[in-house]
Structure 1
Amino acid sequence: MNLTNMTHMHLDIWTPNMTTFRVKLVDFGADGAFAGGDDTDHELVFSNPAQSQWISLNIPLADFTNLVNKGHVAQVIFSGLPVAGGTVYIDNVYFYKDAVLPTAPIAAAPNPTHAAANVISMFSNVYTNVTVDTWRTSWSSATLEDIQIQGNDTKKYSALDFVGVETVTNQMNLTNMTHMHLDMWTPNMTTFRVKLVDFGADGAFAGGDDTEHELVFSNPAQAQWVSLNIPLADFTNLVNKGHVAQVIFSGLPTAGGTVYLDNIYFYKATVSTNDVFGYDVLKIYPNPVSIGQTIQMPANIKSAQIFDAYGRSIQQIIGSEITTNNLNSGWYIIKAEDNNDKYLVNKVLIR
């Protein structure tokens, strides 16, 4: 086997009694013959493998340090303890190459679909944007590039530690908004943070009535567009939302992150009873439901929003169960999204 371009060896093992498991690779060299003078080999030892369960081993070929050549691998040798008494089941023995993730998006972020009448947009080709003083304040620690991807305007931040975006001159009144939306694409960030800062009624930084809150998103998916729809209610310390003047992005690795951003806006999520007939029906049980009971949705539901009779979003759910302890008696609308990104809607009576 020519493993020159491979990076790892994989195998699954299951043993009822082995206390040591070894894997040796032997390369016969260019002459293709055993003991031809150019053979190389290396053995790895795995001590105390978990017993009576399947274990997946993904072994970097670089760990076989004495296996200088990998172009003519002719032997794989398994051994272990107890001597002549070990039992092992082995499956899925193969070598593979780590996928190389792209470092920049080749496709633009998806176009948002929220109604413009319900949106306050900071940056998007789809909506009319408010005036932003700067997308990189003087106190930021990041590099900003304005680029286009497939003709779509995009913000690229690199060497990112933190970056401030300010609307001090035209502060945003988000009182009637329910969510913040942004599309992000990163090749390397392991943590992404979003902070909102409201300057208060005096409209001045550190004027005594400022409020702020930062949310942390751990391990965002890399090398793909991720759409964040963040309930403003999650910014719990952002007591006021009438004079939002700063949006601050930060994350990890410190001063090493790269992120592409598009479609940064705030929106009001509303659903009317008439909208129920525009979607497939969501199956829920029980209905009606008593306060304190749990509403069950299908297992393939990944999230849902609850709207009151006035169309106001009052609760966001992750998963397929809804607790009713914090809801009052009355009619509600549940709008759910399944694992195929399909929306389903139904009305529920809580009594």
Structure 2
Amino acid sequence: MKKITLLIIVLISCLGFSQNLVTNGDFQTGVATPWTGNAANVVDLGASNFVNQANITAAGNPWDVNLSQNINLVSGKTYKLTFDAFTDSATGTRTILSGLGQNNAPYNSSTSTTTLTSNLQTFTYLITITYGDAVGDRVLFDMGAGTGYVFIDNVSVVEVLPLIQDFETPVTYSNLAAFSGTSVSVVADPVTGTSNGQVLKGIQGPGGDIWQGVEFVQTAKKAKLTTNKTMTVDVYCSQAFNILAKVEQGGTAPISATGQAYTTPGQWQTLTFNFAVPMDNTSVANGEYQKIIFFGNWKSTNDGFNNPLVPLTFYINNIRAEETIIPVTLPLIQNFETPNTYTSLASFSGSTATVVSDPVTGGTNGLVLKGVQGPGGDIWQGIEFVQTEKKAKLTTNKTMTVDVYCSQAFNLLAKVEQGGTGPNSANGQAYTTPGQWQTLTFNFAVPMDNTATANGEYQKIIFFGNWKSTNDGFNSPLVPLTFYLDNVRAEEAPVVPVTDPAPMTPAPTPPARLAADVVSAFSDAYTNEVVSAWGPDWGPFSSTIVDNPIATNPTKKISMISGKTFAGIVLGSYYDLTQFTHFHMDYWIPSPLLTGQTISIKLSNHAAQNGETSGIQTLPVPQGGQWVSLDIPLADFVAASNPANLARNSIKEIVITAARADNQQPLYMYFDNLYFHKNTTLSNEEFQLSQVKLYPNPASNMLNIQSANTIQSIVVYNVLGQEVLNKEVNSLSTGIDVSSFSNGMYVVKTLIGGVTSSTKFIKE
């Protein structure tokens, strides 16, 4: 290396590297060969200090003036380009392009803009080759975009070895130990202002054996010392010393050791250990090694240990070598054998999802998840489920493995959601073994589909089978296929059950009304109309509606979680409500409210002859922790497509929508007494006419029903709103045998003089 008056490192780290791939990079041969290009011009600056000099007199395209050399690079590997450069004092400042690229069409390259001054500077760039190996490579300098002199010297391109250990992640090493008198620990970088993070600290002496040292075992990456037998290590100490590095646990490969001199006290220095030159009675390395050992008392003559021992404290970091990934068996978080370990098994946008037996004849996978996509539906269709016992913990280790089976090769995108404050994350992998189970490893540190790096504990797992092999979107048109999934593995965290808040008391009882004045979808006060669907599947944002009695009173519950923001109710017929005036619903939501929470109601005649006419009514700020009775004038439902009031001649659907600031937070909603009415109630005379007497109450065998007026009919419902008895009476009294009824609360609806009333009794 020749004189350097100023060192500017554009991008630098303590890097492991092998030999320089550039020939005549210092131009000391006095000729340009093998450099090419119209800027190849070697001159002597004096005292046999040869450099390449170019004088650009007219500015044009950067490549109009070029200095290049063909070299061999490998796609996917990272290289360090280093060179010295300056301009003359008359030019003062100018820029050039420097980098690595193809030496033939299409001339893809990775370059950086380098700013030169009249002072000699050293520039360093890290470049990963991403354009493939179809075309040869070169190191290049394009200088034609500016005028003035450009001097280039000491060009080197070296391969950067992979980082196999930096002591930042404890799970990547084990068996940290000291022996024969040393001590070992992982501590913070001892140098103020540097960025090495956690480093290995070894203290030797003053007592103990002269061959004392420190060691550890790699758990994530082995040092692969087969073709490239070098390993680089960053070392720091307050005094110069010699260190012996040794590798063991290489399978059948021999143990190997080699020594190097640390010569820069008070500074981090990168040492390159060449295990092709073995020492300490070992052999040339030729294997993949897990154990790494350092001896700080090695002699400078490389023929043994100092005697007496030299006490000192040294630090180790950033170990680099060719690597072999050590397979890690992650904890099993889902194998679909136990149904209560997952919930919300669903498909969306045209796919189907079921749990079935292993499709392989004689296979041992037991129950597996089956996904069928296509031929119709959205290109982003997929299948999903929610973990109920074990979350995928993607904080330190951001990988998840999944066993996949299909009859054809395809690409699969895995996505994780419901990670608390962790962002949604997705990663795609290729299934390449049709007709066989294959384990795919999804690395959520490489996010795709406009998501972020995973960093949380995730409950929901989603799979998209129509992912493109280029990892940049979905195939269009969709590729129909059937695939199977099993044995989902990841670092795990327990699922802490979310307390499901619920009302302590039932909803208020509605007033007595004439049957002709009410169209009821759900209420034990009136005769309910047929509802063809509670919570139909209208896509990924729709919620389910289930029965959830409160104090034995029939009640419906909606669970709006993870983006499930609305719930639909489909009436069994189209209803002409032009003579009706109000919509009624009682609802209960937890307190305190979620940030930004709103509720709205939509009435629709979806699929009616004239197309959909919808009306939406946004409710006032919700109230939590209590039953709220809504009685909304139908005139307040304004059609979105027409400023006039909603046409009410063919109402078919009711949609309840809840919006909130954080869709990751659970939202539970209970409702009762969902009906339309004419805003009329019974007079005292009508009310008295409808009164009945039930006895005994509670009843075990026979329940007697009596009224002062003729009972036309009775209908009995259980707490779930299911009809268990329907009987014509036409007399003042009757009896029903309830001995076969299950114990619990029941509702008896009586029709008397055209008026329906409800009375509860208990079967015991």
Higher relative contact order (CA 8 A, sep 6+): 1
TM-score, length of structure 1 as denominator length: 0.44
TM-score, length of structure 2 as denominator length: 0.21
Find the structure with the greater CA-based Rg. Answer: 2
